[in-house]
Amino acid sequence: MGNKNMKKNIYQKLHSACIEAGSVKKAEKVKGMHFNPLLHDAVQEKATQALLNNQLYATCNYVTEIVPDQKMIMVICTMKVHDVDDPTQFILVDGCSAMGAIDKFGTGNAMSYSRKYAFLNLLNLKTNIKDEDGYAAKPFKQNSPEKSVEANPQYQDDNVDVEEIKDHIKDCKTIEQFNLVRDKYKDQIQYLIKNNLRAYRQVSDIAGTHKIKLDNNNAQQ
């Protein structure tokens, strides 16, 4: 009976929200599109409801940067999850980035995209998607008879060992180890942000997901 009256800490609430959220379905493939899109609205609705049901509330801050060489704008989202019952407690999910065209729609599109991936990382939402971005998909063709093709692209870089960084992140057993790895590779990460955003996205997604896992492990000890 005493357990029912115990107040959950923020990580226990997040754990409950993860279980409740479970997974999010892909949208139907549009004719001529070679992958099934993962819609921002579907992710946000699923994630927000699970968080609110567990007395958690998410806000986002964005940093934008022009990438002149690619004539694109990059948006990096930092999501802050607040404990409604204890406003002093929060969890940060940072490093979720997206690219947009330099036009009146580009910044908004990139903000939505980066927020979607912050929600995915925060709740470890299952999508059953191997290629959520369609990076490896063929170009869109009108009236195409071809079926959807899913892939699992691994983006590399000539100057940075992306796989080494990812492996070292996944090998971390504690937050202290995670922070040391992050500091060790900070220059390489900055290089990827400026020169190879697809490779950076893979590192960022793995880092965000693994950090949440380590935080949850600490809360349960």
Q: Which helix (H) or strand (E) segment is 175 a member of?
A: helix 175-184
pLDDT over 70, % of the chain: 78
pLDDT at 160: 86
Nearest to 20, CA basis, from 53, 45, 43, 44 = 53
Alpha carbons 217 and 221: distance in angstroms, whole number:
7
Q: Per-residue confidence at 220, pLDDT binned at 50, 70, 90?
A: low
Q: Quick one: CA torsion of 172, 176, 179, 185, rounded to 10 degrees?
A: -60
pLDDT in tens, 120-158: 889 888 776 544 444 344 444 444 444 433 334 456 777
